[in-house]
Amino acid sequence: MEVVRRALRERRYSTRTEEAYVHWIRRFIVANGRQHPSELGADAVRRFLSSLAVEERVSVSTQNQALSALTFLYAHVVRRPLAPVDGITPARRSRHLPVVLSQREVRAILGRLDEPHRLCVMLMYGSGLRVLECMSLRIKDVDLDRREIVVRGGKGGKDRRTPLARSCVLPVRAQLARAALRAAGDRRADTGVSGIDDALRRKYPDIDVDWRWQYLFAATRTHVTADGRRRRHHLHESVVQRAFRRAVSAAGISKRATCHSLRHSFATHLLESGSDIRTVQELLGHTDVRTTMIYTHVLNRGGLGVRSPGDDL
């Protein structure tokens, strides 16, 4: 497993991808009586994936993630790429339309949230942020004068710029003041910030206590890392997700809305207001415009963008 982790880090995979791949590779080895993967082959992979789908009834995305982990294992660790075998191709995902909230529903949800959860929801809706992108915002990436946010290392490791809503300026200013006070206290307590690359930390020794690198939404508690240094992480995304679910329920909204529905709503409402789809693609950070095209199917013009004959009754 140490070789697996080393291979993942050499190729600059994200921490979450590393955790997921290590999890599936370990499960694969245990499911095959702890045999070394070099002693197993494509048939063992097919049986493992079949067991996930038939016996454990995992989702399509979970099955594909397990396949990606085992493909990496055999290609870059065992050095024996998997031969094409029926049953180990990626499972086909169903196409689902995104859940989109109306502006009335967004206002109802905001009215049932407290700070900082309310500001997090405002940013996810007003700037099209993913929940983890919002939680990991640093002070230096919020520009109040230009009213924009720089998203660093988004999905696929891509950076992008996105607008900051005018209604978010004052709450963000207040949150920045609270973050600066917390950063001053951490500096006195010699508590650093997490999530900084070791190479960058060597280049700038004081970066751990530089207030500009602090998280906008910092966690309440600190933790001690493997190097013995106390650090502060960002607010965990599950905290905001739970608060959002409670607010949706309290607002009496029947849609199966999650925090990601705010990003869907951001894109749909931009298209409804006449924004160009290429602009929306850039703001969302999509590589392919076809990913953004799904929002054209949920615009507020009827099911297929036509007027229903029932309107004439």
Catalytically active residues, by annotation: 130, 155, 260, 263, 286, 295
Judge contact between 82 and 74, C-beta under 8 A. Answer: yes
Q: How many helices and strands in the chain, by DSSP H and E? A: 13, 6
Show the beta-strand stretches assigned E in 164-211.
192-193
The dihedral through the CA atoms of 174, 177, 181, 186 has a sign that is: positive
| Distance (Å, whole) CA 243 – CA 238 | 9
Show the beta-strand stretches assigned E in the chain.
142-143, 148-151, 160-163, 192-193, 218-224, 230-234
What letter would DSSP give residue 126?
H
| Distance (Å, whole) CA 168 – CA 122 | 7
| Distance (Å, whole) CA 119 – CA 140 | 17
| Distance (Å, whole) CA 42 – CA 141 | 46
Length of the chain: 313
| Distance (Å, whole) CA 219 – CA 217 | 7
Instruction: End-to-end CA distance of the chain: give it in Å, rounded.
Output: 67
Q: Are strands 142-143 and 148-151 parallel, antiparallel or unpaired?
A: antiparallel
Which of 301, 300, 298, 295 shows the shortest CA–CA distance to 283? 295
User: To which residue do tokens 């502060």 refer?
Assistant: 232
